[in-house]
Amino acid sequence: MFCPKCGSILRPKQKGNKRIMACSCGYEERKAKLILKETKKEEDKKVEVIEKEEEKHLPLADAFCPKCSHDRARYWLVQTRAGDEAETKFYKCEKCKHIWREYD
């Protein structure tokens, strides 16, 4: 419902022991039917945090670690530059967990 004076939306307002529809400009609608719908919000579900073991699911590659000289590393790709440029490949050493990147 909208105010006939200014066009703003009418909001429910408590006046004495009655509820009326009122506007911020001062207009009050006494004849309006009020239909209020109350909804009960369910409690938010809790999210469990699990230890990070996602690196076990990353592919393994033959890559030379610049820190410990190990020859195997997990890798993943991230688009760090413009869409028409190549992705950046990140490596994580299996042995020392050192992370480095390689641009193609």
H helices present in the chain, as ranges:
none
pLDDT, one tens digit per residue, over 5-24 is: 898 888 888 888 887 888 88
Residues 62 and 92 in one domain: yes
User: Active-site residue 84, yes or no?
Assistant: yes
Residues 90 and 64 in one domain: yes
Residue 45 lies inside a defined structural domain of this protein: no
Sequence letter at residue 38:
E
Residue 94 lies inside a defined structural domain of this protein: yes
Residues 23 and 63 in one domain: no
Instruction: Report the CATH number that the domain containing residue 73 is assigned in CATH.
Output: 2.20.25.10
Residue 29 lies inside a defined structural domain of this protein: yes
Residue 48 lies inside a defined structural domain of this protein: no
Residues 61 and 98 in one domain: yes
State how far the Cα of 99 lies from the Cα of 75, in Å rounded to an integer: 9
Among 55, 85, 87, 102, the active-site one is 85
Among 48, 62, 84, 104, the active-site one is 84
Residue 42 lies inside a defined structural domain of this protein: no
Residue 99 lies inside a defined structural domain of this protein: yes
Domain hosting residue 18, numbered range: 1-36
Residues 30 and 60 in one domain: no
pLDDT, one tens digit per residue, over 72-102 is: 999 998 888 888 888 899 999 999 989 999 8
Quote the number of domains for the chain: 2
62 contacts: CB under 8 Å, gap ≥ 6: 71, 72
User: Active-site residue 44, yes or no?
Assistant: no
The answer to pTM > 0.85 is no
pLDDT for residue 78: 87
Residue 12 lies inside a defined structural domain of this protein: yes
